[in-house]
């Protein structure tokens, strides 16, 4: 898309492209999402950026009206298998904050200089700037939704010092942290939570979102003790525990989707509430939920391609925006595939860590790979758990999908069908077809979504 086309997108306030690029106005010093409802600036005053970090690095601050830092992530980062896509998934998961640029580069198999060069060339910002933009967004969420002291928020957001935190918030939002807190919207789901009530969240998505199909799948696959779906269709709640880098969490996501009401193709959001034992895990927890719920997908691109196929066209028309759910922990879909839900429940009961503060039927964390490897030696499950524990197999967001598939197939008892399922669920590959299934090449690069349509419609077994 050239810049003139991007400007036409801005003129039409087309929400389909929120997160795909950002525009900044030189006369105001503000950057926005494409669907910003403000008066369209003149073309010669507009600059375009591939990321919010690039706009911030050029001295622009976030628009207070359209809140461009809260848009869904670009679908490219989930779909792409190259080093830039893998790096963006790892940065979103908080790897730079926890391990630094050197840790990111090691996970990618490149030098730190190569990673810096590739990200800067394509995205206009290096890994530190991209992580800094994410920290700023996390800080804003904590400032506007919790009563945590500002000093605690600084370190919980991943900043190394309070001064660095203050300077970044001023640069990005043109306001002090105290002013950002005072500007929190009221009566729109982002009101500051009472102590102990958790952090209220809006998990944004672009375009239509088939919540019923996603929640049906979550209910069908829920492992008792770790997950549950309660309520009646249309108003269900998905709850689960999360094991995170610094602590644990309990999360609740509501089935009802909310329309944003902005742009010619509005998106929306799912309401959620997050209880963290350590607020430093906020960004990571949100990103893992987004992967589980496939919130960063581009339903317009998927539906446009699949809707031209005679077999899929009526399915796409019936369920526009159907998602392909992922996983918060790669071990979970693997265990379900190898043992079934009942087998996974028994493993949770025997080897899962009990929560210090259970919430109803949510009593445990899913077992860690090292624990399962020691408790269940031998067999496909033990071999997989051991491989995940020692790093022989990597299924994290930045893993090379082809390398991961080859490593999985080398393990005893891992069938091609199970590996294909893990490539979709654990690695988020949008273009996977089950072995032995006739799936035409015209469905590329969205074969995972095509298979999901067939399964939801009952035309393909699960």
* pLDDT band for position 49 (cuts 50, 70, 90): very high
pLDDT surpassing 70 at residue 338: yes
Domain range summary for the chain, segments of one domain joined by +: 3-70, 78-182, 199-293, 331-430
Q: What is the mean pLDDT of the chain?
A: 92
* pLDDT band for position 214 (cuts 50, 70, 90): very high
What is the pLDDT averaged over residues 87-91? Answer: 95
Instruction: Indicate the burial class of 151 (C-beta count within 10 angstroms; 0-12, 13-18, 19 or more).
Output: exposed
- For the 3-70 domain, the top CATH level (class) is alpha beta
Under DSSP, the state recorded for 411 is: S
- CA 49, chain centre distance (Å): 21
Planar angle of CA 211, 94, 33, nearest 5 degrees: 60
Give the pLDDT of residue 191.
Answer: 52
pLDDT surpassing 80 at residue 108: yes
Tens digits of per-residue pLDDT, 387-431? 999 999 999 989 999 999 999 999 999 999 999 999 999 999 999
pLDDT surpassing 50 at residue 189: no
In 45-182, where do the E strands start and end?
46-49, 61-62
What is the pLDDT averaged over residues 77-88? Answer: 90
Tens digits of per-residue pLDDT, 234-284? 999 999 999 999 999 999 999 988 876 555 556 789 999 999 999 999 999
Contact call for residues 316 and 453 (beta carbons, < 8 A): yes
Is the sign of the CA dihedral 85, 139, 248, 187 positive or negative? negative
% of the chain surpassing 90 pLDDT: 81
Give the pLDDT of residue 452.
Answer: 97
The domain over range 199-293 is classified in CATH as 2.60.120: no
Give the pLDDT of residue 71.
Answer: 85
Under DSSP, the state recorded for 358 is: E
pLDDT surpassing 60 at residue 114: yes
* pLDDT band for position 334 (cuts 50, 70, 90): very high
Tens digits of per-residue pLDDT, 353-369? 999 999 989 999 999 99
Show the 3-state SS of the chain.
CCHHHHHHHHHCCCHHHECCEEEEECCCCEEECCCCCCCCCCHHHEEEECCHHHHHHCCCEECCCCCHHHCCCCHHHHHCCCHHHHHHHHHHCCHHHHHHHHHHHHHHCCCHHHHHHHHHHHHCCCHHHHHHHHHHHHHHHHHHHCCCCHHHHHHHCCCCCHHHHHHHHHHHHCCCHHHHHHCCCCCCCCCCCCCCCCEEEEEEECCCCCHHHHHHHHHHHCCCCCEEEECCCCCCEEEEEEECCCCEEEEEEEEEEEECCCCCCCCEEEEEEEEECCHHHHHHHHHHHHHHHCCCCCHHHHHHHHCCCCCCHHHHHHCCCCCCCCCCCCHHHHHHHHHHHHHHHHHHHHHCCEEEEEECCEEECCCCHHHHHHHCCCHHHHHHHHHHHHCCCCCCCCCCHHHHHHHHHCCCCCCHHHHHHHHHHCCCCCCCCCCCCCCCHHHCCCHHHHHHHHHHCCCCCC
The domain over range 78-182 is classified in CATH as 1.10.10.60: yes
pLDDT surpassing 80 at residue 196: no
Instruction: Indicate the burial class of 195 (C-beta count within 10 angstroms; 0-12, 13-18, 19 or more).
Output: exposed
Show the 3-state SS of 15-84.
HHHECCEEEEECCCCEEECCCCCCCCCCHHHEEEECCHHHHHHCCCEECCCCCHHHCCCCHHHHHCCCHH
| The model's pTM | 0.91
What is the pLDDT averaged over residues 115-144? Answer: 94
* pLDDT band for position 76 (cuts 50, 70, 90): confident
- Closest C-alpha to 274, from 328, 345, 337: 328
Contact call for residues 118 and 101 (beta carbons, < 8 A): no
Q: Do domains 3-70 and 78-182 have the same CATH topology?
A: no
pLDDT surpassing 70 at residue 296: yes
Give the pLDDT of residue 192.
Answer: 57
What is the pLDDT averaged over residues 148-155? Answer: 92
The domain over range 331-430 is classified in CATH as 3.40.50.970: no
Give the pLDDT of residue 188.
Answer: 45
């Amino acid at each position: 898309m050239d810049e003139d086309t991007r400007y036409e997108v801005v003129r039409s306030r087309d929400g389909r492209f929120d997160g795909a690029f950002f525009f900044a106005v030189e006369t105001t010093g503000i950057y926005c999402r494409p669907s910003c409802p403000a008066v369209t600036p003149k073309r010669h005053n507009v600059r375009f950026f591939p990321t919010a970090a690039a706009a911030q690095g050029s001295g622009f601050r976030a628009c207070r009206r359209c809140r461009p830092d809260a848009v869904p992530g670009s679908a490219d980062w989930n779909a792409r298998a190259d080093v830039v896509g893998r790096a963006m998934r790892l940065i979103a998961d908080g790897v730079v904050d926890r391990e630094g640029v050197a840790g990111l580069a090691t996970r990618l198999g490149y030098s730190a200089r190569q990673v810096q060069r590739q990200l800067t060339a394509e995205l206009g910002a290096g890994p530190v700037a991209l992580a800094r933009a994410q920290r700023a967004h996390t800080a804003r969420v904590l400032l506007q939704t919790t009563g945590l002291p500002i000093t605690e928020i600084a370190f919980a957001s991943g900043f190394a010092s309070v001064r660095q935190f203050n300077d970044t918030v001023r640069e990005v939002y043109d306001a002090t942290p105290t002013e950002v807190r005072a500007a929190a919207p009221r009566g729109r789901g982002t009101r500051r939570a009472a102590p102990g009530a958790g952090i209220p969240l809006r998990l944004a998505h672009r375009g239509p979102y088939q919540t019923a199909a996603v929640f049906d799948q979550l209910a069908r696959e829920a492992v008792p003790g770790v997950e549950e779906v309660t309520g009646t269709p249309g108003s269900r709640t998905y709850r689960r525990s999360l094991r995170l880098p610094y602590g644990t969490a309990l999360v609740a996501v509501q089935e009802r989707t909310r329309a944003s009401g902005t742009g010619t193709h509005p998106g929306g959001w799912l309401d959620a509430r997050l209880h963290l034992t350590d607020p430093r895990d906020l960004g990571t927890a949100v990103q893992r939920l987004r992967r589980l719920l496939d919130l960063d997908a581009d339903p317009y691109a998927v539906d446009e391609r699949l809707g031209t196929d005679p077999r899929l066209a009526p399915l796409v028309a019936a369920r526009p925006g159907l998602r392909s759910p992922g996983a918060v922990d790669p071990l979970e879909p693997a265990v379900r595939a190898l043992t079934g839900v009942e087998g996974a429940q028994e493993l949770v009961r025997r080897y899962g860590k009990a929560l210090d503060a259970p919430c109803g039927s949510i009593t445990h964390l899913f077992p860690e790979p090292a624990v399962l490897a020691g408790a269940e030696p031998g067999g496909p499950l033990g071999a997989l758990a051991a491989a995940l524990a020692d790093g022989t197999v990597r299924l994290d967001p930045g893993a090379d999908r082809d390398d991961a598939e080859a490593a999985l197939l080398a393990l005893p008892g891992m069938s091609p069908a199970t590996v294909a399922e893990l490539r979709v669920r654990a690695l988020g590959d949008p273009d996977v077809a089950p072995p032995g299934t006739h799936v035409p090449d015209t469905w590329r690069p969205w074969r995972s979504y095509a298979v999901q349509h067939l399964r939801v419609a009952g035309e393909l077994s699960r």
